[in-house]
Amino acid sequence: MYSDDAITLGYVGTDVAITRFVDAPTIAVFNALNINPQVVLWDGAKHPTALTLADAAKEMKSIYVYGDPAWTRYFVAQGILSKDQIDSNYKGNLLLATEDAAHQGFATSEPYKYANLESGAVNVAYTLIHDLGWNSYAQNLALRADKLEELRPCLELLVPMLQQAQLDYLASPDRANAIIKAAVVAYDSWWTQSDGDLANGVEQMRKLKIIGNGDTPTFGDLEEARVNDFIGKATPVLREQGLEIADIAASDIVNNEFLNPDITFAG
């Protein structure tokens, strides 16, 4: 959004909003996912007594992640992981088919893919990073903070549409799933998406309450108490990474005023 003025809205997780507030401040106006679907997963058959990530970490040498995500530092500080077992070179492959390790992934994707491997099913276990305290909102639709007033008339109309569209997708996902699958084929990257993947994703979003109301009946809101709690957790971790982090509050990065409070998720 800051590099291309033609982009009005983008996905900005709460952790990213905190990280970039100094040089690229954003305001989130809609929370697409109440719970972050990111997980750390491992082979449950090989580690049947590992019920949590802390249990699994005691039984394996490596935890593979993309780059240097701040949540790994938080988990080290909490004693869940040790710094020397974090490997930052994960490439997105289904490595549990060949290696006894743990890796970053999504509850809505990799467990299904592992269960349906042509070479034989891997029955994974996992922990949501949300459940371990890193409770950032993962996919907030946000805009540049300096565009808020200019875009206010648009947001008043658009945000309730986004609320309803998310609920309509859960109720009847087939048309949107077909569009998603066609896009994956057209982009022709390393990522794959089958009909089963997509149907499972919807099922898991319901089952794990990844999409839901949160603590209020308004669907899609960003609860300021939760955001402030997360800011308190994330700020020292991000500063430890050498980042310049401003002293901010939830009201600096979220705005719920455009939501229709009557739109709610009935489950």
Per residue in 133-159, pLDDT tens? 999 999 999 999 999 999 999 999 999
Q: And the tokens for 229?
A: 């709690």
Asked if 198 and 116 count as a contact pair (C-beta separation under 8 A), the reply is no
The per-residue pLDDT of the chain, averaged, comes to: 95
Locate all alpha helices (DSSP H) within the chain, ordered by sequence.
Answer: 14-19, 53-57, 70-77, 110-115, 148-171, 174-187, 195-207, 224-240
pLDDT reported for residue 143? 98
Matching fold, domains 10-34+136-252 and 38-132:
yes
**Cα(74)–Cα(224) distance, integer angstroms:** 21
Instruction: Name the packing angle between helices 195-207 and 148-171 (round to 10°).
Output: 100
| Beta carbons within 8 Å of 135's beta carbon, 6+ residues apart | 36, 226, 229, 230
End-to-end CA distance of the chain: 34
pLDDT reported for residue 93? 86
Tell me what percent of the residues of the chain surpass a pLDDT of 90. 94
Fold of 38-132: D-Maltodextrin-Binding Protein; domain 2 (3.40.190)
pLDDT at 91 over 90: no
For the chain, give every domain's residue range.
10-34+136-252, 38-132
> If you ran DSSP here, which 8-state letter would residue 260 be given?
-
Q: Which one is the CATH code of 10-34+136-252: 3.10.129.10, 3.40.50.300, 3.40.50.11540, 3.40.190.10?
A: 3.40.190.10
pTM, two decimals, is 0.92
Query: Which among 50, 57, 59, 43 has a CA at the least distance from the CA of 98?
Result: 43
Q: And the tokens for 220?
A: 């899609």
Q: H or E stretch including 6?
A: none
Q: What confidence tens digit (pLDDT) does each residue in 182-232 have?
A: 999 999 998 888 999 999 999 999 999 999 998 999 999 999 999 999 999
